[in-house]
Structure 1
Amino acid sequence: MGVTILTPYPLQNKSGAEAIEELSKRLLALGATQAGQFLVDGDIFEHSFKKIKIHVMHNSEYPASVFSILDNGQKQIPLITDLIFDLLMLKVNPIYSSKKMIKIESKGPRFELGDFLVKLGSVTMSQNQNFKGILIEVDYRPCLVPAFCWDLIKEFLQGLLGQQAPTAIPGYFTNTLPSNNPNQHYHRFNDTYQPIDTVQQYLEHFNNYRKQSQAPTI
């Protein structure tokens, strides 16, 4: 595990399959090798009478873990558990019920290129597998603090995506967070990166896709 940056990829009149194929060819031309497939999925369980949501997510990089985020509208509390948590959520139904129509996943090929791990995700939502867009995950494995390697990751993305590469630090890392000292705040940009950070980035993008009223062509 290293530092992971997640960025959406604009389709520019391409289908999702065409975009994945084009990006795969670019990576292979740069010398990358394909290293299997990946899957990140997210479900929402809502309390029957309280305004509380539990986001339950899985990442194929951590097959024995369940990532859950309790959201009361004002604060998010992350939790990492084993797979028993999935069974627990089934047992608390109907107190917490799954919103299957907004269940979402990102899946596709993963590539290794030197110290980088790149995943090209096709994002689909609901039981009908409605296509929502493309998410690119770039993991720079030797680094553990985003501030130490953001410039290197940005340069890598520019080499892969050209003008479509992000130039600004993702908001997930620059948002001001409270600390134990009420007079001090900190940013994730200078903090040690953890697997839950990848999941929370996916959650941000998944929620953005859920808000889309229309889906592009798959």
Structure 2
Amino acid sequence: MGVTVLQQFPMVENRTGPQTIEFLTKRIVALGAVQVGHFLVDCETYMSVPTLGPQRTVHVLHNSEHPASVFSVLETGSKTVTLLADSLFDLLMLKMTSVYTKKQTKIESKGPRFELADFLVKLGTVTMSQNFKGVLVEVEYRPCVVPGSCWDLIREFLQGFLGSSVQATPPPYLQNRMNDIYQPTDTTHQYLEQFAAYRKTASVL
């Protein structure tokens, strides 16, 4: 497990999701990448029933890179608690319908995985209720575990096939963790951040 950076790829008018994935695939393959299977990250959100007092929200995420694990993020006001559990956590949530109700539509990112030297690249089609929402690119630099030590290298790699859409600064979640040891839960938070942005856009529309 190295350092992962998640990046939205801007959609071009008259280019569909599959066409965008094909476009990016050609770019990354031209650099020498080899496809190694597929990936899936999904998220379901539950909210506490009003009779329990202050609103609590639980985001439950699954990542095919960690098939035996379930990631959850509990939000209560300004407090956030991250939990890493096994697959029994899904069964627990099913039994807690009197406490938590599913409030938001499931959202997921899935697509092909590529390996290129020390990099792992995932091109994700983001869908919500089977409706296409956008494209997320995940890049992991595997030899490094401290974001601040390899951000410049990851950014340069991203710019190599995503072009000017790559921001000069790290994703918001990583900005406060540049000198920390990167954990799988950090990837979870980045996906949650991106999924929230897609959901917000959908609600505005």
TM range (shorter): over 0.9
Deviates further, 206-215 or 158-167: 206-215
Following superposition, the deviation at residue 103 of structure 1 comes to 1.2
- Give the number of aligned pairs: 201
* Pairing of 1:13-32 with structure 2 (within 5 A): 13=13, 14-32=15-33
Deviates further, 10-19 or 136-145: 10-19
* Pairing of 1:21-60 with structure 2 (within 5 A): 21-49=22-50, 50=53, 51-60=55-64
The one of 70, 82, 92 equivalent to 1:88 is 92
Aligned residue number for residue 74 of structure 1 = 78
Structure 2 gaps, min length 5: none
- Separation in structure 2 between the aligned mates of residue 109 and residue 69 of structure 1, nearest angstrom: 26
- Separation in structure 2 between the aligned mates of residue 103 and residue 31 of structure 1, nearest angstrom: 34
- Separation in structure 2 between the aligned mates of residue 72 and residue 130 of structure 1, nearest angstrom: 29
Aligned residue number for residue 114 of structure 2 = 111
- Separation in structure 2 between the aligned mates of residue 19 and residue 4 of structure 1, nearest angstrom: 21
Aligned residue number for residue 185 of structure 2 = 196
Following superposition, the deviation at residue 214 of structure 1 comes to 7.4
Q: Is the 8 A contact 1:131 1:215 kept in 2?
A: no
Following superposition, the deviation at residue 94 of structure 1 comes to 2.7
Q: Name the amino acid aligned to 1:48.
A: V
Structure 1 gaps, min length 5: 175-186
Q: Name the amino acid aligned to 2:117.
A: G
Q: Percent identity?
A: 57
Q: Does 1:133 align with 2:104?
A: no
Q: Name the amino acid aligned to 1:41.
A: D
Q: Does 1:160 align with 2:149?
A: no
Following superposition, the deviation at residue 73 of structure 1 comes to 2.4
Sort the Cα spacing of 1:214 and 1:21 in 2 relative to 1 into closer, same or farther, 3 A: farther
Aligned residue number for residue 123 of structure 1 = 126
Q: Is the 8 A contact 1:157 1:166 kept in 2?
A: no
Following superposition, the deviation at residue 130 of structure 1 comes to 1.2
- Separation in structure 1 between the aligned mates of residue 72 and residue 128 of structure 2, nearest angstrom: 19
TM-score, normalised relative to structure 2 = 0.94
| RMSD over equivalenced CA pairs, Å | 1.5
- Separation in structure 2 between the aligned mates of residue 213 and residue 204 of structure 1, nearest angstrom: 15
Q: Is the 8 A contact 1:41 1:58 kept in 2?
A: yes
- Separation in structure 2 between the aligned mates of residue 27 and residue 213 of structure 1, nearest angstrom: 29
- Separation in structure 2 between the aligned mates of residue 5 and residue 56 of structure 1, nearest angstrom: 20
